[in-house]
Structure 1
C-alpha cells in the first residue's frame, strides 16, 4: 500500500507566520482547534519564513520551545513549506513569492536551514520533506547558465541532506514544486530537468536521487490541463521520487460564454496572490495569462472567449465540486490519489488551501472560525477518500 499511513498534513502557510510568536499563535489558535475538530491524528506542514528560521537558529530557547507547542497542540510535523521565503501574508505577494530563485546563495542557505530545523521537529522514525520553488519565475526561456547554477546548488543541497542524515539519523528530502509560468511548470519540463540533474551529478547521482524529488501540486498540474494519471506515471517511469503531494483544487469555468459564471469568477480576482489562468479547446491549452483579472472575466479576449474551458490557479476547498456557477478540479484530485496508490512508496500528503483569507467571493474576508471549520471539512473529506481507497 503506497498511500501514506502518516497523519494527513495541512499547510500552515494559510496562517500568518512572520515571527516565531506568530507561528506559535497560529498553532494554538488554529492548528490545535482544527486537530480537535477532526478527532486528532493531524500533522501540520509549517511555513518558516526566512526571519522565523533565523530566529529559531539564533535563539536556542525559541527553537527548544517550538516542538513542545506542536506536541501540546496534539500535532506532528514532518514537512515544511520553504517555497515562500519572505512575507507570504503581505498586502501584495504576487511575483515576489518566487524570490530569491535557485541561482542565489540566499535560497540555498534558507533551504539548508529549513531542513536542519525540520530534522529537530520531526517525530522519531519518520522521514521529512521540504518543498521549494520551481527554480524561479520565468518570463523568458531560462539561460544555460541559470539552469547550470540551479543544478549545481541543488546537488549541493543533496550532499548537505546526506550529511544531515549522517549527523542526525534523520532523512529529509527536497521537493521541487512545479507551478504555472515558472521555470518548471509542466511534468515534461520537470522530467527533462531531473534527467539533466541526474546526468550532471556525477559521483553524487545516488545521493541526489535519494534526497531530491518533486512536490506535485495537483492544482498546478490540473490548471495546465495535464492528464493527472499519465503525469504521475511519467514521473515514476523517469525514476523521480514524489517526495510530497499537495492536495489542492483549482477553479473551473466550464462554459466561458456563461456571463453569470464569469461575473462570479471576477470576484476571485484579488490583489494578493497570482492566479494564472489557462484556456483550452478539446483539452489542449490555447491561451494563458499570468493572472486573473476582472477585465478578463467581463471582457474576455477572443482566444479566451473561444476556449471550451478555463482553469484558474486559485486554491479552493478540496471538498468542493461546485462554487455557484463555477466548478473545481476535484475529479483531478481524486485521480491523483488513485495514481499515487500505484507507487512503490508513500509520498507525504498535504492539503494546501492557503487562500482561505482571500476566498471572499465578493464577501468579507473569511473569519477565524470559518477558516478553522473549512480546513476541518477538507481534512475529513480527504480522510474519507483515503479510507475508501484502503477499503478497496
Structure 2
C-alpha cells in the first residue's frame, strides 16, 4: 500500500477558537493564505472545541458557513482533532488537556457530537477520522473502575459511529493517541488495552464494529520521546490487528550527550514555558529511560545525575517538522522518516496530518510568521512524502 493520496492535512489547534466565528477567522487569517503558498491541495484538520461543537449543533447555519468557506478556497476536511476539549490556548493548559478523560460521559458526548459534525463536513468518497486522548493522564487520580468505564464509553462510541455509517454512508474512525505519562503511552500498553477492549465486546457484531471504528493516532513525536523503535512499534500494532487511523507528523526536541554540553542545556531551558506539558525522557547507555513529567529550568541547568549521565534526552515539544536542528539542539526528524517509511507497508493508508501547535510558545529567535512557517512545514512534508513514495515504488 502507498501513503495516503488525500490532501495533506494540518491541524488547526495551532489557532485559538472558542466560537465558530473564531474558527472561521483562523482559517481566513492563516489557513487560506498558507494554502496559497503550498503546491497542491491542502486539508484543514479542524480542532473544534466543545463550545464550538455545541454552537454548531445548536445553529446549523454556522456549519454551512464553515463548509462554504472551505469549499470556496479548495480546502477539504476529513479529520478532526477532538483531543483538547476546552481552551487549548489558555494561559495554562498542561494536564488539563486530558480532562474530561474517557471514563467521563462528557468525553463520550463531545466525541459523538464531533462525529456528527464531521459526517456533514467531510467530502464524498473518503473516510473520516477523529483523534482523541489516550484514556487519561497517569498523574491524575482515577476511580478503581476507570479502565472499565473507558471501555464502556469507547464501545458506545463505536456503536454510534456504526450508526452514523448506516444513516449517512460515512465511515468515521476514532484514533486514540498514545502520549507520554498517559494511561496509554507505550506500544505494549496500547496493544494490551485494545486486546482487553476487544475481549469485552459482547457479540461478534460488536467486536467487528469495535475493530472497524476504533484504532490509534500514531503521533511520531510521542513514540520517539518514549525512545521506541518507531518502525518496530508500527509493525507490532499491525501484527496485533490494531488499525492506525491517523498519523501525526511531528518532531520532538533531542539533545545528545547532555552531560557534556552545558550550552545545549542552556538553549533547551529557553523552551521551558507555562502553557503546555513537555514530558522529558533521558536514555542511558544500558537502555534505561529516566522520566520527568514536565521540563523545568532547573532540570536543564542542574539536572539529576542520571540525566547528566544519559546518552540522550528527548522532550515532548512539537517543533517544526522541517527542522533537523534548532541551534545546538537536534530534532527527531530521523524518526519521522522511519515512521512514514514503515507506514507504507500497511494494507491501508492512514490519514496524514502535520500537528505543530507550539508556534506561539517557541522561544524568541525561533518564531516566524505563522503563515510562512506552516507553509514551509507542509511543503517540506509533501516533498518528503513524494520522495518516500518514489523510493517505495
Q: TM-score, normalised by structure 1?
A: 0.97
2:257 to 252, 255, 258: 255
Structure 1 contact 278–285 (Cα < 8 Å) conserved: no
Change (3 A) 1:63 1:228: same
Note the residue ranges of structure 1 that are not aligned, 5 or more in a row: none
Partner of 1:228: 230
In the alignment, the residues of structure 2 paired with residue 371 and residue 291 of structure 1 have an alpha-carbon distance, to the nearest angstrom, of 26
In the alignment, the residues of structure 1 paired with residue 254 and residue 95 of structure 2 have an alpha-carbon distance, to the nearest angstrom, of 23
The Cα of 1:143 is off from its aligned counterpart by 5.8
Partner of 2:212: 210
1:115-126 alignment to 2 at 5 Å? 115-126=115-126
Structure 1 contact 248–353 (Cα < 8 Å) conserved: yes
Deviations, residues 310-362 of structure 1 (Å, cap 9, x unaligned): 000000011111111100000000000000000000000000000011112x4
The Cα of 1:366 is off from its aligned counterpart by 3.9
Structure 2 contact 282–291 (Cα < 8 Å) conserved: yes
Structure 2 contact 39–379 (Cα < 8 Å) conserved: no
Partner of 2:278: 275
Structure 1 contact 225–284 (Cα < 8 Å) conserved: no
Matched, 1:358 2:361: yes
Kindly report the root-mean-square deviation, in angstroms, between the aligned alpha carbons of the 2 structures: 1.3
Partner of 1:110: 110
Structure 2 contact 223–230 (Cα < 8 Å) conserved: yes
In the alignment, the residues of structure 1 paired with residue 120 and residue 2 of structure 2 have an alpha-carbon distance, to the nearest angstrom, of 26
Matched, 1:371 2:373: no
Deviations, residues 364-390 of structure 1 (Å, cap 9, x unaligned): x946xx111111111111111111122
Partner of 2:195: 195
Partner of 1:246: 248
Find runs of 4+ consecutive structure 1 residues off by over 3 angstroms: 140-144
Partner of 1:390: 389
The Cα of 1:123 is off from its aligned counterpart by 0.4
Partner of 2:323: 320
In the alignment, the residues of structure 2 paired with residue 76 and residue 283 of structure 1 have an alpha-carbon distance, to the nearest angstrom, of 47
219-228 or 37-46: which moved more? 37-46
In the alignment, the residues of structure 2 paired with residue 13 and residue 226 of structure 1 have an alpha-carbon distance, to the nearest angstrom, of 26
In the alignment, the residues of structure 1 paired with residue 3 and residue 65 of structure 2 have an alpha-carbon distance, to the nearest angstrom, of 32
The Cα of 1:284 is off from its aligned counterpart by 2.4
Structure 1 contact 35–41 (Cα < 8 Å) conserved: yes
The Cα of 1:75 is off from its aligned counterpart by 0.7
Secondary structure class of the residue paired with 2:175 = strand
Structure 1 contact 27–73 (Cα < 8 Å) conserved: no
The Cα of 1:306 is off from its aligned counterpart by 1.1
The Cα of 1:283 is off from its aligned counterpart by 6.8
Instruction: Tell me the matched-pair count.
Output: 388
Deviations, residues 33-56 of structure 1 (Å, cap 9, x unaligned): 111000240001000000000000
In the alignment, the residues of structure 2 paired with residue 283 and residue 197 of structure 1 have an alpha-carbon distance, to the nearest angstrom, of 34
The Cα of 1:282 is off from its aligned counterpart by 2.7
In the alignment, the residues of structure 2 paired with residue 52 and residue 167 of structure 1 have an alpha-carbon distance, to the nearest angstrom, of 24
Secondary structure class of the residue paired with 2:145 = helix
The Cα of 1:142 is off from its aligned counterpart by 6.0
The Cα of 1:117 is off from its aligned counterpart by 0.3
Change (3 A) 1:285 1:246: farther
In the alignment, the residues of structure 1 paired with residue 152 and residue 239 of structure 2 have an alpha-carbon distance, to the nearest angstrom, of 24
Secondary structure class of the residue paired with 2:9 = strand
In the alignment, the residues of structure 1 paired with residue 143 and residue 69 of structure 2 have an alpha-carbon distance, to the nearest angstrom, of 45
Secondary structure class of the residue paired with 1:46 = strand
Deviations, residues 270-298 of structure 1 (Å, cap 9, x unaligned): 00000000000137243111100111111
